[in-house]
Structure 1
């Protein structure tokens, strides 16, 4: 079942135009390679697969209000939970973490905290009408820390450096200025 999920994910990525991918374990390389080899054939990349109907300027990349889709409370909770759990794992010396049955790395946590930062700084509204504010994010952080404690148990939670993970997540998700990368301030907390 896990291999089928990996294969399906790599088929989606390759059909979306990606030239390569990453895997969580070396044993998955043959699966990913087979899928990408089937799509790429003898070509080194898919750069020729451009969409003529899409034109993107630099300013478009920052126009959060113009993006499609809805921001939900569950999306906010997921971003907070993943961000905190990854930072906790990173502080304990692990660069990849199993979160919600997926192997997540710094890139996922970076996306999570970046979305939260963007939502707060652009006053984005959730699908229920509430605005994503610092207060809402801090409330969500408290609630998600309780959820994480329930999921992993008190003993593991206590060892996971939750206070440091929370502080670092708040620092990179709620600061006035956008931090260059979430792990940079975390280096000061390594043993």
Structure 2
């Protein structure tokens, strides 16, 4: 328990140290009762070793360790440590600082790793504009709208024929005919064939 492990000679407040132990106990309980996906044994063992290392550091320094300190304690590259911590719901706080004096947290790093790069965002925007222009050039407004709605190009939602029919006040069959005609035009267009290579 926290009381048994606490060393008052190090000069840290018991409340700081006990908080760490309490949070670990809560997270372990949640993890045991809510996990529906089983993680590989070696990942679980590595995570257990990480948690033990984090507890040792917390005992020494009187606070939750940062990523660099954990990596050094584990004698493990930071990238591998990140992979293990990301592999499942972990007991290390996402608010854990990456550096002792820095503001960046582990959660920031995960978000940055999973976020598209600025270049990817620009390319996606350019692709969207090219597709939008091609549809508006090759199709009449109604056909363009049907294609955009059917393929999630309007607002990210893939509409059914019936949903589009209600919005356009036409039958489901009429929407199917409009879609079919629009796709025929697109297939036969030289411009679309050139766009395939670009996109």
> Please, what TM-score do these two structures have when normalized by structure 2?
0.19
Q: Which has the higher contact order (CA 8 A, sep 6+)?
A: 1
Report which of the two has the higher share of helix.
2
**Structure ID, larger Rg:** 2
> Please, what TM-score do these two structures have when normalized by structure 1?
0.20
